[in-house]
């Protein structure tokens, strides 16, 4: 399977714990996006990378959230001191583009987080 | 108020019906996406539009930049079209996405 993969698919944690999610994009894609989706809502943009550079961060991304893409391939999204409001589906998408954003993105299956 | 509004929120249709889902936005955009999300979360990008009209199989997407409105049409609907359809816009002022809350479509055999 050469699509976007995310791990883990599900995560249950206690409030206050740290969690880390991983996204492996399609191999030749230079852009990688993170989104959050709560039940009944559309996805919310969190951040995106072009190669290893983080080019944009939403105001939704509080200090407890950090994302990295150290070698321009896979990316990690870490949430520190989780809160119940962090419970959501975290989606990753990748694409290839050398121009402004707006290109077709390919989404992964998501990581569903439940904070108890 | 959301920057992107979709209507209807829920739609039930009989197999074979022509379906229209609408998206209105209040910001200046460089492009608009229509996405399809199946139960379980998988999202597929259907169209990316910056003007005019695109067609892919039974799906047609149109956009009117002046009116800040886009429509997604499904001809000869089929139960496998049942999914949530999401409109997303990319601002022309920078690298920001805004998404609608989605339209949940159920096509009954």
What is the pLDDT at residue B34? 93
What residue ranges in A1-116 does DSSP mark as E strands? 5-7, 10-13, 19-24, 31-37, 44-50, 53-57, 65-68, 75-79, 88-95, 106-107, 111-115
Distance of CA A12 to the CA centre of its chain: 17
Confidence of residue A60 (pLDDT cuts 50, 70, 90): confident
Please classify residue B29 by burial: count the beta carbons closer than 10 Å to its beta carbon, then call 0-12 exposed, 13-18 middle and 19+ buried: buried
- The answer to whether A105 contacts chain B (CB < 8 Å) is yes
pLDDT of residue B90: 84
**How distant is the alpha carbon of residue A4 from its chain centre?**
11
Q: A102 and B45: CB-CB below 8 Å? A: no
Pull the structure tokens for residue A70: 């150290």
Distance, in Å, from the CA atom of A7 to the CA atom of A12, rounded to the nearest integer, reads 13
Helix (H, G, I), strand (E, B), or coil: what is residue A50?
strand
Q: What does the pLDDT average to over A20-32?
A: 94
Which of B33, B48, B99 is facing A44, going by the closest CB pair? Answer: B99
Residue A95, φ and ψ in degrees, nearest 5: -160, 170
Cα gap B103→A41, rounded to integer Å: 10
For B45-63, how does the pLDDT look when each residue is reduced to its tens digit (9 = 90+)? 888 888 999 999 999 999 9
For B12-28, write each residue's pLDDT tens digit.
999 999 999 999 999 89
Q: Which residue in the set A104, A106, A109 is minimally distant from B48, CB to CB? A: A104
B10 touches chain A (CB under 8 A): no
Distance CA A51, CA A68 (A): 11
- Reported as a pLDDT band with limits 50, 70 and 90, residue A102 is low
Return the sign of the alpha-carbon dihedral for residues A48, A50, A52, A53: negative
Of all residues in chain B, the one with the smallest CA distance to A100 is: B95
What angle (nearest 5°) sits at the alpha carbon of residue A11, between those of residues B84 and A42? Answer: 25
Between A93, A101, A109, which is nearest B90 by CB? A101
CA distance A101 to chain B (A): 7
């Amino acid at each position: 399977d050469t699509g976007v993969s995310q791990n883990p698919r599900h995560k249950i944690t206690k409030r206050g714990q740290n969690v880390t999610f991983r996204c492996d994009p399609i191999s030749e894609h230079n852009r990688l996006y993170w989104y959050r989706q709560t039940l009944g809502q559309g996805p919310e943009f969190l951040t995106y990378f072009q190669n290893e550079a983080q080019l944009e961060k939403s105001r939704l991304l509080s200090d407890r959230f950090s994302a990295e893409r150290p070698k321009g391939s896979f990316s990690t999204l870490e949430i520190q001191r989780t809160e119940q409001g962090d419970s959501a589906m975290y989606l990753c998408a990748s694409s290839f583009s050398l121009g402004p954003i707006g290109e077709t993105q390919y989404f992964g299956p998501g990581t569903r987080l439940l904070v108890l | 108020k959301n920057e992107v509004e979709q209507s209807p929120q829920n739609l039930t249709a009989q197999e074979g019906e022509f379906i229209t889902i609408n998206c209105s936005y209040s910001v200046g955009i460089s492009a608009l996406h229509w996405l399809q999300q199946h139960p379980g979360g998988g999202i597929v990008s259907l169209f990316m539009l910056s003007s005019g009209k695109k067609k892919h199989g039974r799906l047609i997407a149109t956009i009117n930049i002046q009116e800040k409105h886009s429509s997604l049409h499904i001809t000869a609907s089929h139960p496998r079209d049942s999914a949530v359809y999401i409109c997303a816009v990319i601002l022309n002022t920078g690298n920001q996405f805004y998404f609608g809350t989605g339209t949940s479509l159920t096509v009954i055999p």
